[in-house]
């Protein structure tokens, strides 16, 4: 279980802000890394609390017949969960890594999904997606792979042009922590459940995260829509940028989420509840 008191202590004691260190590569293409990445997203693994939160929130945002675009989708752990739950919706996964997309399509075929397509494209450009054609844009644990703030701004700008007038978005990622000691606590926590190569990737991700204030500022400048910025309390560890609720959760989706909750271990349930309650909201 994450020692949140230690996280807060180390972050509050750190007086200087670190320099962001971009990811070694924008795209993950090593087969071993990809296999470990997929493994980390299995239920009961280190991402379960967060994945359950995503499903809860998105169950209030995806409407029948929507076109949903997942930016930097990787092998599609969240997209594939959603595609099963919403067979009448169209899901598009965009990523720079062809091996990641190939893995997503293989997993999609194994599940018999017919509503998933893949695009190998830069998420700041997305030339093949028509402007004004997307109902919902999602991106989770991905934007820190962008090289710099200019690319982040370009990605947000493209989100705005892709969305329909009544479209929405849901974006999550890490914020740049101040203390190296805090980063080590986070990495050690993930190491309890993840493979070593995934732990190393996570350490890179924490160092590559953008400062939360920069992310919110860029989003406000580039996406002239009403949205909420939900940031972690006490320390700038994560952020959620999301538009308002668009629907009620369909009964089968709500039942599935409840079944996932019942089957998770107590530590993951506690982590999930902390994630949902330890947030402060900035309304645009």
- Does the structure show a pLDDT above 90 at 29? no
Rounded to whole angstroms, the Cα distance separating 43 from 55 reads 13
Interior angle at CA 263, CA 38 and CA 100, nearest 5:
10
Average pLDDT, the chain: 92
- Does the structure show a pLDDT above 60 at 152? yes
- Does the structure show a pLDDT above 60 at 180? yes
- Does the structure show a pLDDT above 70 at 173? yes
Quick one: average pLDDT of 63-72?
97
Q: Each residue of 243-274: pLDDT tens digit? A: 999 999 999 999 999 999 999 999 899 989 98
Place 168 in a pLDDT band, splitting at 50, 70 and 90.
very high
In angstroms, how far is CA 276 from the centroid of its own chain?
Answer: 15
| All domains of the chain in start order, with CATH | 4-283 (3.40.50.150)
- 145 against 279, higher pLDDT: 145
Rounded to whole angstroms, the Cα distance separating 116 from 248 reads 23
Q: Each residue of 105-124: pLDDT tens digit? A: 999 999 999 999 999 999 99
Highest mean pLDDT (candidates 178-187, 190-199, 215-224): 215-224
Rounded to whole angstroms, the Cα distance separating 247 from 157 reads 25
**Pick from 82, 58, 95: nearest CA to 248:** 58
Query: What pLDDT is stored for residue 283 in this prediction?
Result: 59
Query: What pLDDT is stored for residue 69 in this prediction?
Result: 98
Place 158 in a pLDDT band, splitting at 50, 70 and 90.
very high
- Does the structure show a pLDDT above 70 at 17? yes
**Pick from 74, 79, 136, 142: nearest CA to 111:** 79
- Does the structure show a pLDDT above 60 at 161? yes
- Does the structure show a pLDDT above 80 at 284? no
List, as one string, the DSSP characters of 26-81.
Answer: SS---HHHHHHHHHHTSTTSTTHHHHHHHHHHHTTT--TT-EEEEET-TT-HHHHH
Query: What pLDDT is stored for residue 1 in this prediction?
Result: 66
């Amino acid at each position: 279980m994450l020692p949140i008191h230690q996280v807060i202590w180390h972050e509050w004691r750190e007086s200087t802000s670190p320099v962001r260190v971009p990811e070694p590569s924008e795209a993950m293409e090593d087969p071993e890394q990809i296999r470990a990445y997929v493994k980390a997203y299995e239920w009961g693994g280190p991402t379960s609390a967060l994945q359950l939160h995503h499903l809860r929130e998105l169950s209030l945002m995806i409407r029948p017949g929507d076109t949903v675009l997942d930016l930097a989708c990787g092998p599609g752990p969240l997209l594939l969960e959603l595609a099963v739950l919403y067979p009448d919706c169209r899901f598009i996964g965009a990523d720079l890594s062809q091996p990641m997309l190939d893995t997503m399509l293989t997993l999609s075929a194994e599940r018999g999904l017919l509503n998933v397509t893949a695009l190998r494209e830069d998420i700041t450009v997305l030339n093949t997606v028509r402007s004004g054609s997307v109902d919902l844009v999602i991106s989770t644990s991905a934007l820190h792979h962008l090289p710099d703030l200019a690319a982040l701004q370009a990605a947000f700008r493209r989100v705005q042009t892709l969305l329909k007038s009544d479209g929405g978005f849901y974006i999550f990622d890490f914020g740049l922590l101040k203390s190296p000691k805090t980063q080590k606590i986070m990495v050690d926590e993930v190491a309890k459940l993840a493979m070593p190569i995934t732990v190393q990737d996570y350490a890179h991700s924490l160092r590559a995260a953008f400062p939360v204030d920069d992310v919110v500022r860029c989003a406000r400048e580039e996406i002239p829509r009403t949205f909420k910025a939900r940031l972690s309390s006490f320390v700038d560890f994560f952020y959620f940028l999301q538009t308002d609720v668009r629907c009620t959760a369909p009964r089968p989706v709500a039942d599935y989420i409840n079944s996932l909750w019942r089957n998770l271990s107590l530590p993951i349930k506690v982590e999930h509840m902390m994630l949902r309650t330890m947030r402060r909201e900035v309304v645009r």
